[in-house]
Amino acid sequence: MTAADRDSLGSAVFVLSRPSGTVIADGVGRRFDDARDAAQALRDGTVRAVVGALPFDLDDTAALMSASTLTRSDQPWHGVRGRPRRVSAMTSHPDPDEHRERVGRAVAEIASGRLEKVVLARSVDLGVEPEVDVGELIGALAQGNSESNAFAVELGALRDTPLALRSSGIGETPELRSSGIGETPDDGGAAPGSAWLLGASPESLVRKHGRVVTCQPYAGSAPRSADTVADRAAADALMTSTKDLSEHAFVVDHLRDRLGPLCSELDAPTTPELRSTGEIWHLATPIRGVLRDESLTALDLALLLTPTPAVGGTPSITAAQFIREFEGCRGLYGGAVGWCDDQGDGEWMVTIRCLELSADRRHLRTWAGGGIVAQSDPQAEVDETTAKLRTVFNALGLEHA
What is the predicted pLDDT for the residue at 186?
52
What is the predicted pLDDT for the residue at 372?
94
Q: Which of 95-104, 190-199, 273-282 has the highest mean pLDDT?
A: 95-104
* 3 state SS of 216: strand
Regarding predicted confidence, which is higher, 11 or 196?
196
Q: How many angstroms separate the Cα of 310 from the Cα of each of 56, 81, 104?
A: 12, 29, 19
What is the predicted pLDDT for the residue at 11?
82
What is the predicted pLDDT for the residue at 193?
55
Q: Is 110 within a domain? A: yes
Lowest mean pLDDT segment, chosen from 6-20, 22-36, 303-317: 6-20
Number of domains the chain is built from: 1
**Sign, Cα dihedral of 181, 197, 163, 326:** positive
Q: Is the pLDDT assigned to residue 187 strictly greater than 80?
A: no
Q: Is the pLDDT assigned to residue 185 strictly greater than 60?
A: no
The model's confidence at residue 399, banded by pLDDT at 50, 70 and 90, is: low
Q: Which residues of 291-323 are buried (b: 16+ CB within 10 A; e: fewer)?
A: beeeebbbbbbbbebbbbbbbbbbeeeebbebb
Q: Is the pLDDT assigned to residue 2 strictly greater than 50?
A: no
Regarding predicted confidence, which is higher, 197 or 189?
197
Q: What would the mean pLDDT of 83-92 be, rounded to a whole number?
A: 94
What is the predicted pLDDT for the residue at 189?
55
Question: How far apart are the C-alpha atoms of 259 and 205, rounded to whole Å?
Answer: 12
Q: Cite the DSSP H helix spans in 112-227.
A: 134-143
Q: Is 401 within a domain? A: no
Q: Is the pLDDT assigned to residue 377 strictly greater than 80?
A: yes
Q: Is 98 within a domain? A: yes
What is the predicted pLDDT for the residue at 277?
85
Q: Is 230 within a domain? A: yes
Amino acid at 102: R
Q: Is the pLDDT assigned to residue 339 strictly greater than 90?
A: yes
Reply yes or no on whether 208 is catalytic.
no
Reply yes or no on whether 203 is catalytic.
yes
Q: Is 284 within a domain? A: yes
| Mean pLDDT score of the chain | 88
Q: Is 180 within a domain? A: yes
| Model confidence pLDDT, tens digit, residues 234-259 | 999 999 999 999 989 999 999 999 99
Q: How many angstroms separate the Cα of 148 from the Cα of each of 18, 138, 158, 389?
A: 6, 10, 30, 18
> Catalytic one among 116, 154, 203, 279?
203
What is the predicted pLDDT for the residue at 319?
96
Range(s) of the domain holding residue 23: 3-395
Q: Is 63 within a domain? A: yes
Q: What would the mean pLDDT of 338-350 be, rounded to a whole number?
A: 97
Q: How many angstroms separate the Cα of 227 from the Cα of each of 146, 175, 232, 234, 394?
A: 19, 39, 9, 11, 18
Q: Is 16 within a domain? A: yes
What is the predicted pLDDT for the residue at 400?
59
pTM above 0.85, yes or no: yes
- In CATH, what number is assigned to the domain containing residue 143? 3.60.120.10
